[in-house]
């Protein structure tokens, strides 16, 4: 990654920020149960691994509670 780019920590190269593009209601899919959900339905929690909790959060599945993605929220 080059200057200023950040990865959400799951290795997919996506920093998790919604940016200017609108997130649809099914922007995320749980790898455990297959539930599709949007950012507004995600259950947020603190990250593991020492990431700054004011800048990063983990999105969890609203159906089964599994961790789905770590996202940058520092601009919120």
pLDDT tens digit at each of 76 positions of the chain: 334 434 444 444 454 544 434 445 679 999 999 999 998 999 999 888 889 988 999 999 999 999 999 999 887 6
- Match 């969890």 to its residue by tokens: 60
Total domain count for the chain?
A: 1
Rg of the chain taking only CA atoms, in angstroms: 12
64 found inside a domain: yes
User: What domain range is 45 assigned to?
Assistant: 28-72
Which H helix or E strand runs over 70?
strand 67-72
12 found inside a domain: no
Global pTM value: 0.63
């Amino acid at each position: 990654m080059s200057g200023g780019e950040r990865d959400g920590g799951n290795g997919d190269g996506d920093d998790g920020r919604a940016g200017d593009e609108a997130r649809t209601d099914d922007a995320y899919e749980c790898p455990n149960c297959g539930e599709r959900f949007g950012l507004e339905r995600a259950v947020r929690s603190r990250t593991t691994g020492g990431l700054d909790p004011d800048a990063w959060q983990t999105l969890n599945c609203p159906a089964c509670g599994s961790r789905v993605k770590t996202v940058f929220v520092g601009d919120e």
